[in-house]
Amino acid sequence: MRKSLLLSCALLFTYIANSQTIVFEDDFESYTAGETLAGQSSIWRTWSGGTTGAEAALISTAQAQSGVNSLNVVANNDMIYDFGNKTSGVYKIEFNYFVPAGFGAHFNLQHAFGAEWAFEYDFANGTATISNGMAPTVAYTPDTWAHYVIDVDLGNDLVTITIDDVVFTSWPFSNKTDGSTGMNQLGCMNFYGPAGNKYFVDDFVFTEIESGLTPPKINISSTPINSTSGEDEIVSFSNDGDETLKFSAYPVFTEAVIATEASKDGILHVDGDNEGNAVGWANEITAFVATRFKPEVVKPFIGQEITSVDIYIYDLPQNNEITVYVWEKGGFNAPGASTILSQKTVTTTGMSWNTITLDTPILLSGDEIWVGYHMTALTGTYVVGMDGAVNIPATNYIKTGPVWSEFDGVEGNGNFSIRANVVGTSWNKWMTVTPATGTVAGAANQNITIDFATDGLANGDYSGILVVGCNDVTQEWTEIPVSLSYFVGIDNVNSVSIITYPNPVSNNLNIKSETSINSIEITSITGQIVRKYDVNNTSFVVDFSNLTGVYFVTVNTVNGSVVRRVISN
């Protein structure tokens, strides 16, 4: 006998009326009937982000609890309301719901859009069932409007569902649909229409009962950094939110700098040997699978190029074909492949490694890169090759819809058998960044140190980018240009590292040196010395406000001299 979980009144939420804030409400009356909701609202969206097509539900006058309009969801419609990934606070979601006789209905709440479901609520033949690991059921009356309230208390990890003012059930909100523990996060509402579904939604209201912590908010400058090799540069940023800020930081190199002792051809991979291991699905599935090569994995190969990809295929996919991809990184909060760098459809050989040569090599600059393929696996087949090693977190991903989800192996084991073959000589990593990852508490600060290693560098100016990623949804990635001026002195063999900026200059030219500057001379393009300064310091500011044209700035230090070409506007 199936039992329903009933709760006493003691489990009901207690609210303070004056603390409630209606975040969003929609009675659908402001929209035109017969047209899509996504095409008329900047708040509601379809699963894939489009405004028309099969996913886009229509506004209807066929039923309404208030006014004349409601949202009509039918098979294949897929509408999303984003709560903003709340991790603290107390919230109430309420709406009126109408299921016509002879049809099914469905809605779900997700911890993270497309990645983790909190629960699914299905209606069929007068009985509604919740997928939350306990599967409680409750009767409903078709052809009748019912008022649903979903209370989510993130602080106490509790969700309560009330139907027409009667508490139906409650359970830990962090539960996933199979009952296992997931994220205690309020992600999004999904009004979806599986086959045979038809229902109406009216009077949707999202209320903040108790405010949560302010989400993480990074405060960081993207002002270019111009530095010498002898001194570290510090990039400081703060977390202006209350919740913990998670971050990563790494250098990207934008030009070739050949190292004295560089690595040669190699293989970019994280998987172990494949000994006939593969993963399959009970039903036919069309999916992307990919390996995420994070910056620390790419680092040894910076400057080299991916020329081919190796993929282990066990059972043959549909039509014996896969399409191989190389992608740029996606988001920090929702990792995934982004811009396509290479794409090629090939015929595969089963129970074997398949080598696919790219039409155009892909340069590795230090940024994250994704390598994978698209295929259709027939029912009961095992197409996707993997090793038998312990699954590496945040490395293996799969996508069957618009969102990538992490694949955590089979019973914790298995990494996709995907590799990239690289050729060429790697570049000198003249810039290193520490720490590479970390967390910043609310209202706290963090320093990132850029260290410049000049061993093996020739005279010249070098440029790169400091990339800082974080879980601030409004600013996931910050790119800070970094330049290094490095020259060996004219007068002796000692190294002289000088920074001059900005260039072009309108007013003041800043000059910094790792050693004491004796004097500075400003020479016109005709060779005339227009200004000369005695300095005896490691830094100096030259006034260029009354100069126009091209000038040469000679910086004489205790270790030698450096000449810079400067344009004055």
Going by C-beta distance under 8 Å and a sequence separation of 6 or more, which residues neighbour residue 356? 308, 309, 310, 311, 324, 344, 346
Q: How far apart are the first and last CA of the chain?
A: 85
DSSP 403-440: S-EE---BTTB--B-EEEEEESPPBP--EEEE-SEEEE
- Top mean pLDDT of 309-313, 329-333, 514-518, 529-533 is at 309-313
Q: What is the pLDDT of residue 227?
A: 72
Q: What is the pLDDT of residue 401?
A: 79
Write the class of the CATH domain 218-258+428-485.
mainly beta
Q: Do domains 218-258+428-485 and 489-568 have the same CATH topology?
A: yes
Architecture of domain 9-210 in CATH?
A: Sandwich (2.60)
- pLDDT band of 101, cuts 50, 70, 90: very high
Residue 411 predicted with pLDDT over 80: yes
Task: Give CA 503 to chain center in angstroms.
Answer: 34
List the domain boundaries for the chain: 9-210, 218-258+428-485, 266-423, 489-568
Strand bridging mode 58-60 / 70-74: antiparallel
- pLDDT band of 262, cuts 50, 70, 90: low
- pLDDT band of 115, cuts 50, 70, 90: confident
Q: Tens of pLDDT along 192-214? A: 999 999 999 999 999 999 999 99
Q: Tens of pLDDT along 338-358? A: 899 999 999 999 999 999 999
Q: What is the pLDDT of residue 55?
A: 96
Architecture of domain 266-423 in CATH?
A: Sandwich (2.60)
Local structure of 467: helix, strand or coil: strand
- Average of per-residue pLDDT values in the chain: 91
Residue 364 predicted with pLDDT over 80: yes
Q: 557: which strand partners? A: 517, 560
- pLDDT band of 5, cuts 50, 70, 90: very low
Residue 467 predicted with pLDDT over 80: yes
Q: Report the percentage of the chain scoring pLDDT > 90.
A: 76
Q: Report the percentage of the chain scoring pLDDT > 70.
A: 93
Q: What is the pLDDT of residue 4?
A: 24
Q: 67: which strand partners? A: none
Residue 18 predicted with pLDDT over 50: no
Q: Looking at the domain that runs over 489-568, which CATH code has it been given? A: 2.60.40.1930
Residue 383 predicted with pLDDT over 90: yes
**Sheet containing 116-124, strands listed edge to edge, beginning at the edge strand earlier in sequence:** 45-46, 78-86, 186-192, 105-112, 116-124, 127-131, 137-139
